[in-house]
């Protein structure tokens, strides 16, 4: 328990009060963006490095990091481990379908899930997957050797979360599952209302949070659920969130983003986002922000509900229907600032030393003033930034623009 707490403090500067450096045994990377706030900033003894690698296939998932290797997945069914100092590939492991989940790293293993957005059937609840099923995999971190695989009936695109030897995930088959992370054996399986499409599981103090969708014509369509990590029992359900957006958890609140689509058909792109804060213990709505109507795009990715980032009492949230990045006072929902972007942001931003780092789907990488939203620098890239969020390790920002991974020294942004 002490080692895990240390790893969390190393990663989440805003939540731990002091800056620590990564030393000692390999770290765990237990969930999307490393933890509950999504502010994946790690002060490690890694020098500022610069490199670019061509993946030749789309990268939509976040990074995993264990202090030794950087891990990512792609649409070519690959899990790739690279040396963060050079970008050199150390090993590649293969899945059976598109890989979009954040690699989860714990106990010397790397866990990833495969998936598809194919809707196999619809009977009040959608069922996403393929007839042959998809899988969760555990690969050995040292060399990529397969340790176990677990077949899922529905797709397994959303990231899992790891806690106390358990790997917990939700799928396109209307279920949430806990596996023994060492063996892949089922500990519990729970029926849930709807499918998990891209929103990842978050775990805090024995509770797993997940967002599901029942389908376009259901009202309410999406729900945020709190499940017991030990038993899978549903603690509460709230009619908010979007199944593509991962919850953010901080200061006793769970932050999610809703999506209100307009009429389907010729005007399917029209819609609105809403940002919600829910009580972590009960699911009660604490505050809500409703954005204006705008147009959603499929550039970079088709995700419309985006995972926010919490740092220093502020929630930084993309509102893609209006191309805005908004900074909210996290406890009250008061809007501190609003920054219109060149294109919608479909990733979680990072906050470090008074700056916000984020890329939009127009291919612009921004460094913003965290207090005011003013642009400190903006750099054009040839391809859109997708849902793959960035990672800061030491003096380097790691980020993907469609099918390339870039290591960029922070002093050059």
pLDDT in the model for residue 216: 67
pLDDT in the model for residue 262: 66
pLDDT in the model for residue 17: 30
For residue 256, the cross-strand partners are: 276
Parallel, antiparallel or unpaired: strands 391-393 and 375-380: unpaired
Number of domains comprising the chain: 1
pLDDT in the model for residue 19: 33
pLDDT in the model for residue 44: 86
d(CA 251, CA 253): 6
In Å, what is the CA distance from 235 to each residue of 103, 291, 309? 27, 29, 25
Burial letters 316-342, b for 16+ CB under 10 A, else e:
bbbbbbbbbbbbbebbebeebbebebe
Position of tokens 């029992």? 233
d(CA 276, CA 232): 24
Instruction: Tell me, rounded to whole angstroms, the distance of Cα 236 from its chain centroid.
Output: 22
CB 30 within 8 A of CB 203: yes
Q: Where are the beta strands (DSSP E) in 116-247?
A: 119-122, 126-128, 134-140, 146-152, 161-163, 166-170, 175-180, 186-191, 202-204, 207-213, 222-228, 234-238
Instruction: Tell me, rounded to whole angstroms, the distance of Cα 19 from its chain centroid.
Output: 24
Tell me, what CATH number does 324's domain have? 2.130.10.10
List, in order, residues 6 or more apart from 40 with CB less than 8 Å away: 11, 33, 34, 62, 63, 350, 389, 390, 391, 392
CB 315 within 8 A of CB 370: no
Q: Which among 183, 32, 36, 24 has a CA at the least distance from the CA of 105?
A: 32
CB 117 within 8 A of CB 128: yes
Q: Which among 356, 350, 355, 408 has a CA at the least distance from the CA of 381?
A: 408
pLDDT in the model for residue 53: 96
d(CA 263, CA 283): 29
DSSP 113-132: EEE---EEEESSSEEES-TT
pLDDT in the model for residue 261: 72
Instruction: Tell me, rounded to whole angstroms, the distance of Cα 322 from its chain centroid.
Output: 21
Q: Which residue ranges in the chain fall short of pLDDT 70?
A: 1-25, 122-124, 216-217, 262-267
Burial letters 291-303, b for 16+ CB under 10 A, else e:
beebebbebbbeb
In Å, what is the CA distance from 111 to each residue of 4, 5, 180, 348? 17, 20, 12, 21
3-class DSSP assignment, residue 307: coil
d(CA 93, CA 267): 41
Dihedral sign from CA coordinates of 173, 178, 181, 186: negative
Answering whether pTM is above 0.85, one says yes
d(CA 246, CA 255): 9
pLDDT in the model for residue 366: 98
DSSP 308-356: -EEETTEEEEEETTTTEEEEEETTT--EEEEEE-SS---S--EEETTEE
d(CA 118, CA 368): 38
HSE, CB side, 13 Å, CA atoms: give it for residue 379: 14
> What is the span of the domain harbouring residue 359?
2-412
């Amino acid at each position: 328990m002490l080692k895990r707490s240390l790893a969390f403090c190393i990663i989440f500067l805003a939540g731990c009060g002091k800056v620590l450096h990564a030393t000692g045994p390999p770290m765990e990377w237990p969930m999307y963006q490393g933890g509950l706030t999504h502010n994946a900033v790690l002060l490690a003894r890694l020098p500022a490095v610069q490199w670019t690698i061509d993946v030749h296939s789309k990268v939509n998932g976040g990074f995993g990091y264990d202090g030794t290797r950087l891990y990512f997945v792609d649409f070519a069914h690959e899990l790739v481990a690279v040396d963060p100092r050079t970008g050199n590939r150390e090993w590649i492991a293969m899945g059976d379908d598109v890989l979009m989940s954040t690699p989860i790293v714990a106990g010397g293993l790397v866990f990833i899930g495969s998936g598809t957005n194919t809707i196999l059937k619809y009977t009040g609840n959608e069922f996403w997957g393929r007839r042959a099923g998809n899988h969760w995999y555990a690969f050995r971190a040292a060399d990529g050797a397969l340790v176990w695989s677990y077949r899922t009936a529905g797709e397994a695109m959303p990231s899992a979360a790891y806690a106390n030897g358990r790997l917990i995930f939700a799928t396109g088959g209307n279920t949430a599952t806990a596996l023994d992370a060492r063996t892949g054996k089922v500990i519990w399986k729970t029926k849930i209302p709807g499918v998990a499409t891209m929103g990842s599981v978050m775990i805090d103090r024995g509770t797993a949070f997940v967002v599901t969708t029942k389908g376009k014509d259901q009202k309410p369509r999406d729900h945020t659920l709190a499940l017991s990590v030990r038993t899978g029992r549903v603690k509460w359900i709230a009619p908010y969130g979007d199944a593509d957006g991962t919850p953010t958890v901080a200061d006793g609140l769970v932050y999610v983003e809703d999506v209100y689509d307009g009429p389907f058909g010729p005007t399917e792109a029209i819609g609105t986002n809403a940002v919600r804060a829910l009580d972590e213990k009960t699911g009660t709505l604490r505050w809500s922000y409703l954005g204006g109507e705008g147009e959603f795009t499929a550039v970079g990715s088709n995700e419309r509900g985006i995972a926010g980032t919490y740092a220093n009492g502020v929630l930084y949230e993309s509102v893609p229907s209006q191309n805005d990045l908004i900074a909210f006072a996290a406890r009250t929902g008061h809007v501190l600032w609003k920054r219109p972007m060149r294109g919608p942001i479909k990733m979680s931003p990072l906050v470090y030393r008074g700056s916000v780092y984020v890329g939009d789907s127009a291919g612009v990488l921004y460094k913003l003033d965290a207090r005011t939203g003013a642009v400190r620098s903006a750099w054009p890239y040839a391809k859109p930034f997708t849902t793959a969020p960035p990672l800061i390790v030491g003096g380097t920002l790691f980020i993907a623009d469609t099918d390339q991974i870039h290591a960029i020294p922070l002093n050059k942004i």
